[in-house]
């Protein structure tokens, strides 16, 4: 499985590069192509006055055709992709997971499973300890 590492942050909805114990994880979520026109990638709406992204918006909009999708249903259809060095077995690998935070030892985390030892690698919010 050859994952495509994004070249810039403009291609990503989420991106992280961090060390976890003896391991290392590079994880990202690519922006989704509009399901209606299939020309542009969906994103948060842009404020016409300030020309900045409305980061607290509850919907995603296609810049080409104007198609809108609610935040919850849009994010449920995305996948988290990760390249890692497993902190448990020390092997390099690639994996995908769902783009939804789940509880891992009481902390909200994105979870990636190691393809070698099948243990879970949690990606917690920044500065959250397990």
Residue 42 and residue 86 in one domain: no
* pLDDT band of 90, cuts 50, 70, 90: confident
Residue 46 and residue 105 in one domain: no
Digit-coded pLDDT (tens) for 93-120 = 999 988 999 998 888 889 999 998 989 9
Q: What single string gives the DSSP state of each residue in 30-51? A: EPPBPTTT-SSB-B--B-TTT-
Residue 92 and residue 128 in one domain: yes
* 82: containing domain: 1-32+78-130
**What CA–CA distance (Å, rounded) separates 26 from 85?**
9
* pLDDT band of 84, cuts 50, 70, 90: very high
Residue 85 and residue 119 in one domain: yes
Residue 101 and residue 67 in one domain: no
Q: Measured between alpha carbons, how far is residue 68 from residues 41, 54, 64, 119 in Å?
A: 12, 14, 11, 37
Number of domains comprising the chain: 2
Digit-coded pLDDT (tens) for 34-78 = 988 988 999 899 998 998 989 899 999 998 888 999 999 998 899
Residue 20 and residue 83 in one domain: yes
Residue 66 and residue 12 in one domain: no
Residue 109 and residue 55 in one domain: no
Residue 56 and residue 67 in one domain: yes
Residue 82 and residue 53 in one domain: no
Give the pLDDT confidence score for residue 1 in this predicted structure: 55
Q: What is the pTM of this model?
A: 0.84
Residue 82 and residue 70 in one domain: no
């Amino acid at each position: 499985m050859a994952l495509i590492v994004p070249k810039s942050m403009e291609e990503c909805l989420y991106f992280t590069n961090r060390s976890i114990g003896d391991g290392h994880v590079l994880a990202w979520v690519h922006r989704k192509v509009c399901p209606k026109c299939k020309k542009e990638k969906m994103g948060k709406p842009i404020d016409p006055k300030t020309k900045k992204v409305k980061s607290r918006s509850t919907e995603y909009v296609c810049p080409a055709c104007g198609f809108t999708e609610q935040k919850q249903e849009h994010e449920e259809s995305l996948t988290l992709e990760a390249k890692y060095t497993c902190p448990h077995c020390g092997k390099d690998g690639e994996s995908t997971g769902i783009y939804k935070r789940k509880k891992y030892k009481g902390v909200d985390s994105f979870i990636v499973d190691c393809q070698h030892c099948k243990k879970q690698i949690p990606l917690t919010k920044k500065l959250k300890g397990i």
